[in-house]
Structure 1
Amino acid sequence: MFVEAIEGTWHNSSTLGRRFTIRSGHEIDIILNSNISGVFINTALGRNTSGSSLPSGAKNIANATKQDRFETATKIQGHAAETKSLIVDIFEGRAVTVEAFTPLIDDVARTMEENPSLYIGMSRLRSRDNATFVHSLSVAALLLHFSRSLQMDEETVQHLCVAGLLHDIGKLSIPKQVLQKQGPLNAAERSIVEQHPGLGYELLSTNLNMPTLVLQICRSHHERLDGKGYPDRLQADAISKEVRMSTICDVFDALTSARSYKKGWSSQQALSWMMCREEQFDKGLMWQFVLSLDPEMTKGIL
């Protein structure tokens, strides 16, 4: 079988590489005894001819063919372009109704239903120029999937998806040299970036058709249960369930996304870190979020 990609820390790249054909049981043992968190198997470039196989519990994050991944990546790029167009329309003051998002929401929903773990994994392959837009799309997809797993009513699901798409719209008002800095931000730059929830809220508030839930999530997705978030230092009782859900999805995507100055964490690393921070995240909702994900993404958590 052909290994298309390795997720996690892989100490055998000098001997096997990160893309290679498995030709023996010994190579399978190397994979199983490593600290990696997932393997992408490309069935279009090879199949199991050795008589051995990886156990299902330790196998793939996405057992996807090259064509599967190409089609998903193409859909995500289309979604990102459509997301960018709608966000720019709002930013430039053009009237946009929630109904304008319906075709995009429906398309994201179909893609998530076809292969949620592959969609989430492929959405990490973002270009630097489109980082804010693709991140927004990823958060929208996570919120849609999460809210449907909780069997929330369809109107709330759609509003959560729109909120995911628009939650970072205030970043378009942040200077590019700060937003696209190739490294960690200093204190002054961090203070500038922390203005984006308020800026986004003010912008969206000018649209009389914008649902209250979308406005609420735009302003409050960086609040924390312990009151140390921003911009309003809200504490637990003042933070709605939907905002708490948006915070989980936002941070999960941020942690698992690569940046110029850091590698993206594996899904398991991100979830383990988040589960230990009850002062920041709702523990009950965190468990429900974990349960909503593909089992291969949560191995070692449950």
Structure 2
Amino acid sequence: MYLHGFEGSWLNHPFWRRRFLLEKPADLTALLDSDVIGVLIDTTKGLDLDIAPPAEPPRAEYRPPVREKLRRYAASPTTPLHGEDIARAEAVRTVNGAKHAIRGVLDGARLGKAVETKAVLAVVDNVSAAVEKNRAALLKVLRLKTKDEYTYLHSVAVCALMVALARQLDLDAQTTADLGTAGLLHDIGKMAVPLDVLNKPAKLTDEEFALMQTHPEKGHRLLERSGDLPPMALDVCRHHHEKIDGTGYPHRLRGTEISLAARMGAICDVYDALTSNRAYKAAWSPVEAVTRMREWDGQFDHELLFAFMKVVGIFPPGTFVRLRTNRLGVVVDNGPRSPRPKVLAFYSTIDRRMIDPVAVSIGDDLAHDAILGEADPAEWAIDATVIHEIASRHARG
């Protein structure tokens, strides 16, 4: 068969290519053992489903795919799992519980019922605990959502991203919890939008888009009726589509007229939307999403976006950064399968001089270097063309 694309997270497929003719038994084995939940095939370039697939090569012992192990663990926590499998299994249980709870809240809102505050706060508590325990595992599981699950899991994902970003900014516990609540309920106004518009698998007409743009105000009015939600949740619901340059909606707020919470909500909402499969588009990779978000001048708070990049551990190639080890460097492409960003460090901030370039792996622990922030080349009298040339030379090997 000719593989045209992979369902689920871009992290889970074991190949460096996205589209190719599946011919080798070893490639089939790798695909079956991966976390890929489905594939798209092009029958004009390869076999269709009515042709039997090639047999798997014999194996010395049977090793169940990760997703099968997760199903066993979810059904019986006594099933032996280790390391990353345990972290992912626990994240799956958290996500499934949150999805069930938020489905009840949002479906109730569609029927005109008031928001069940206790159910919302319980979800926020569970998601916050999961972020604290293993943020990476939770965020990875939340990227694996089908088109049918998007409405519910998008709310859970934005909740988790808001909590993680709040912790990155060292906000206090109550503010962090309120931001999680805001993330969970930010799109509740979409429950007042007709389903044929909300799930339309094509570009909206001007009239349909105008209808879609009413969801922040409709959501705000719905949340007002509950009377016991944090004001921050109402603010984010109403203003998460505002833009720094004043071109957003519904009130065309500009810059700091937009609250910190709403600016955070805008980033978390767009990132999860871009990296999810939707009725009308396939998911972008996290790197592609962050790269494009940085290019959209005037849409997001630049400093908050960089803090968000630290949360998801993604720094687009070409970004000029300051490292914990008193060096400056440029982020270089580390390949789609690598879990860690890589920086080519070439300048000492202590000696204020160029040094021999060295590739540095970025991580969350003291065993690795860390990115502290984005650097301004002009501040260090470094020509931007020099940065580009160093990165290009590294790419050429």
Scaled by the length of structure 1, the TM-score of the pair is 0.76
Identify the residue that residue 118 of structure 1 maps to in structure 2.
137
Query: Per-residue CA shift, 1:257-277, capped at 9, x if unaligned?
Result: 012332211111111111122
- Greater RCO (CA < 8 Å, at least 6 residues apart): 1
Is 1:281 the equivalent of 2:300?
yes
Q: What's the CA shift for 1:45? A: 5.4
| 1:240-259 equivalence runs, <5 A | 240-259=259-278
Aligned residues: 261
| 1:184-199 equivalence runs, <5 A | 184-199=203-218
Comparing both structures, which one devotes a greater share of its residues to helix? 1
Query: Per-residue CA shift, 1:149-182, capped at 9, x if unaligned?
Result: 2110111111111111111111111011111112
Query: Per-residue CA shift, 1:9-52, capped at 9, x if unaligned?
Result: 5245634547618xxxxxxxxxxxxxxxxxxxxxx659xxxxxx
Give the conservation status (yes or no) of the 8 Å contact 2:241–2:248: yes
Is 1:217 the equivalent of 2:259?
no
Q: Name the CA distance, whole Å, in 2 between partners of 1:8 and 1:78.
A: 34
Identify the residue that residue 5 of structure 2 maps to in structure 1.
none
Comparing both structures, which one devotes a greater share of its residues to strand? 2
Which of 83, 94, 109 is the aligned partner of 2:114?
94
Structure 2 vs 1, CA of residues 232 and 8 (structure 1 numbering), >3 Å: closer, same or farther? Answer: farther
Identify the residue that residue 341 of structure 2 maps to in structure 1.
299
| 1:135-150 equivalence runs, <5 A | 135-150=154-169
Q: Name the CA distance, whole Å, in 1 between partners of 2:184 and 2:21.
A: 37
Structure 2 vs 1, CA of residues 158 and 5 (structure 1 numbering), >3 Å: closer, same or farther? Answer: same
Of the two, which has the highest radius of gyration? 2
Structure 2 vs 1, CA of residues 182 and 66 (structure 1 numbering), >3 Å: closer, same or farther? Answer: farther
Q: Name the CA distance, whole Å, in 2 between partners of 1:19 and 1:281.
A: 43
Which of 128, 147, 158 is the aligned partner of 1:128?
147
Q: Name the CA distance, whole Å, in 2 between partners of 1:185 and 1:284.
A: 32
Q: Name the CA distance, whole Å, in 2 between partners of 1:95 and 1:188.
A: 29
Q: Name the CA distance, whole Å, in 2 between partners of 1:266 and 1:19.
A: 24
Work out the percentage of aligned pairs sharing the same amino acid.
31
Q: Name the CA distance, whole Å, in 1 between partners of 2:15 and 2:128.
A: 25
Q: Name the CA distance, whole Å, in 1 between partners of 2:84 and 2:210.
A: 44
Structure 2 vs 1, CA of residues 8 and 148 (structure 1 numbering), >3 Å: closer, same or farther? Answer: farther
| 1:1-302 equivalence runs, <5 A | 5-6=13-14, 9-12=17-20, 14-15=22-23, 17=27, 20=30, 68-89=87-108, 92-94=112-114, 96-97=116-117, 99-294=118-313, 299=341
Scaled by the length of structure 2, the TM-score of the pair is 0.59
Structure 2 vs 1, CA of residues 267 and 203 (structure 1 numbering), >3 Å: closer, same or farther? Answer: same
Q: What's the CA shift for 1:253? A: 0.2
Superposition RMSD in Å: 2.8
Q: What's the CA shift for 1:76? A: 1.1
